[in-house]
A = this chain, B = another copy of it.
């Protein structure tokens, strides 16, 4: 896997990597997590796609300014690689069984501002700059409905765009 050239890194901003943040090789305070602290030699295993179901891990997109959770979708290794290399969110579509370059049809792209992985390296969190609406239903977030304790649901917000204008009639 190729690493983006220096200066061309699409989401390099904010805190730089600090060598002191990584435990010395072969000596980690979290011994059972040692496999997660990768060096240049073995970084390929971040995140741990072999822990996913069918090699897929959940990836969460969160608005980098408001903190709103916009959507959850799936990534395989290839989608992750493309996301890292382009700085644009790329998922794997389980229904279409192919890479899903978010916004390819709608223009509603997600520029990745920050990438994070969880403690078990089996979930991905992206801080993104969302162009347009994240949801294919035309809402700012896929989580446009809340569920009451009696399991009735409430639509919380207006649509931003008419999906038929973006994707054509269904």
Instruction: Indicate whether A166 reaches chain B with its CB closer than 8 angstroms.
Output: no
Most buried by B among A12, A40, A68, A147: A147
Q: Known contacts A22-B153, A143-B117; decide if A17 and B67 are in contact (CB<8 Å).
A: no
User: Complex Cα distance A43/B152, Å?
Assistant: 7
Q: State the oligomeric state as a number of copies.
A: 2
Q: Which residue of B lies closest to A136 (CB)?
A: B119
| Count of chain A residues near B, Cβ 8 A | 63
Instruction: Indicate whether A84 reaches chain B with its CB closer than 8 angstroms.
Output: yes
Q: Which residue of B lies closest to A12 (CB)?
A: B149
Q: Contact at A137–B62, with CB atoms within 8 Å?
A: no
Residues of B within 8 A of A43 (CB): 151-152
The residues of A with any CB-CB pair to B shorter than 8 Å are 3-4, 9-12, 15-18, 21-22, 30, 32-33, 36-38, 40, 43, 46, 53-54, 58, 60, 62, 66-69, 71-72, 84, 87, 114-120, 123, 125, 135-137, 139, 142-156, 170
Q: Contact at A71–B118, with CB atoms within 8 Å?
A: yes
Select one of B66, B84, B150 contacting A67, CB under 8 A.
B66
Residues of B within 8 A of A12 (CB): 148-149
A-B contact pairs, 27 of them (CB 8 A): A3-B149, A3-B151, A4-B149, A9-B150, A10-B149, A11-B149, A15-B156, A17-B148, A17-B152, A18-B154, A22-B152, A30-B137, A33-B137, A36-B145, A46-B151, A46-B153, A53-B54, A60-B60, A66-B67, A69-B69, A71-B118, A84-B147, A84-B149, A84-B151, A116-B143, A117-B143, A123-B142
